[in-house]
Structure 1
Amino acid sequence: MGKKKKSVLRFWVEVLLLVALIGLAAVLWFRASDWQPSRAEYPTQGALVGAQDGAVDFNALRAVGADFVYLEASHGARGRDELFPRNLAAARDAQLPHGVVHAYDPCVPAERQAANFLTIVPRDPGMLPPAISLSKLASECSDPIVEAGLESELTTFINQVEGHVGQPVVLKISLEFEAEHGIAVRIERNLWLNRDFVEPDYAGRPWTLWSATSYLRRESGDTALRWVVVQP
């Protein structure tokens, strides 16, 4: 009989602990979905938008505090964000300052990627500096020649993009990519770093843009916003 009481008591303790954990998770999720860096510390803030975000209302995005937006445009030699034309037109209509992002594939020759980018991104001096997203590791290509020539190929791509847009690019570098390749200290361009909630310091020099949270929820769309701030 005593063992039965202990088992029942243990069951209810476990239930209460589970309820407490669920409640704590809910509180943390709510706080995460409402958090963004202080405007006093980072006056200029914006968002990163692509097809994964669905049909974003850019006027609503501006209304909730976005001062600018970056649009995912292309990736690799053939990849194109299916909503880029729509998002580009919508950002212009909302008079929201905007730039574009190309996801660089180290396994694909720079010339082919540049051709993809130049075909779909207009030559518009009013746009923000384009960003090159570096997250895929060259070691994933299973070709040591590709990894050895990464810096040279990336430089070729940068030169062609900058020649097209008429301004320096921004390097959007993931923690993993920087840890493996150390590009931030080898190529002198403004940096865009990523880390939710905590200011990133993995590049060895100051950043210009910071993806501060990917959990922020506002009225501008059905999905969480990828919120970006500018170094003041």
Structure 2
Amino acid sequence: MEVLLLLALVGLAAVLWFRASGWQPSRAEFPMQGALIGAEDGAVDFNALRATGADFVYIEASQGSEGRDAMFPRNLAAVTDAGLPHGVVHAYDPCVPAGRQAANFVTIVPRDPEMLPPAIALSKLASECGDPIVEAGLESELTTFINQVEGHAGQPVVLKISPEFEAEHGIATRIERNLWLERDFVQPDYGGRPWTLWGATSYLRGESGSAALRWVVVQP
């Protein structure tokens, strides 16, 4: 009996995994869909990614004051050659001064009016810095960084906010920028206002490679 139950559970898990790996939000409801790509995805074939259904791509570019995605130069060239609309993501580090992070961003991200609005990924908590002054000044420093990135890009940024970051800092309702929220399979509501981009699944597998894709949709 226990063996049969175990086999049933394994079979159910396999079915659920198969369904999750092929799931995308409805195209009728969300016509514009794309992917988030970084070094963890390896050498992505962007033409194959388009065949999977990507209408746009965001590529990870920089992190903090010194971090740079190892695949960024290759990905930027490849996605440009493929003709896919694309933007970049900077992972913001609240423990590092805004000016140093902006210098890192503008050094490696070209000023290109054809690019999509840059996204600022907010996931590391200021409380992890171990300095109450840093935590208290988070909004001010983040605003400084946003202003410098927007001056370089020539357009407003998108705030890519994790549930944990929003729960601790409540940035979505304090800084008026378009939101990129994340929750697998279910539309997120933790921003306190409508989202523009939704990280809808991190399980999708397509023709671009064997690794799961981080799939993103646009609010119509």
Same fold (TM over 0.5): yes
Alignment-mate amino acid for residue 138 of structure 1: A
Task: Compare CA radii of gyration and give the structure with the larger one.
Answer: 1
Asked if the contact 1:53–1:222 (Cα under 8 Å) also holds between the matched residues in 2, the reply is no
Determine the structure 1 residue equivalent to 2:33.
45
Quote how far apart the aligned CAs of 1:222 are. Answer: 2.3
Paired residue for 1:59, among 47, 72, 76?
47
- Whole-Å separation in 2 of the counterparts to 1:99 and 1:19: 45
Asked if the contact 1:42–1:231 (Cα under 8 Å) also holds between the matched residues in 2, the reply is yes
Count of residue correspondences:
220
Determine the structure 1 residue equivalent to 2:5.
17
SS in 2 for 1:113: helix
Paired residue for 1:116, among 79, 100, 104?
104
Determine the structure 2 residue equivalent to 1:88.
76
Structure 1 alignment gaps of length 5 or more: 1-12
Alignment-mate amino acid for residue 175 of structure 2: I
Q: Give aligned-pair identity as a percent.
A: 85
Matches for 1:1-232 after TM superposition, within 5 Å: 13-232=1-220
- Whole-Å separation in 2 of the counterparts to 1:59 and 1:23: 34
SS in 1 for 2:214: strand
- Whole-Å separation in 2 of the counterparts to 1:222 and 1:31: 16
Quote how far apart the aligned CAs of 1:231 are. Answer: 0.1
- Whole-Å separation in 2 of the counterparts to 1:158 and 1:218: 34
* Partner deviation per Cα, 1:20-65 (whole Å, 9 max, x = no partner): 1100000000000000000000000000000000110000111111
Runs of 4+ residues over 6 Å off in structure 1: none
Asked if the contact 1:54–1:222 (Cα under 8 Å) also holds between the matched residues in 2, the reply is no
Structure 2 alignment gaps of length 5 or more: none
Alignment-mate amino acid for residue 213 of structure 1: T
TM, length-normalised to structure 2: 0.99
* Partner deviation per Cα, 1:172-221 (whole Å, 9 max, x = no partner): 00000000000000000000000000000000000000000000000102
SS in 2 for 1:70: strand
TM, length-normalised to structure 1: 0.94
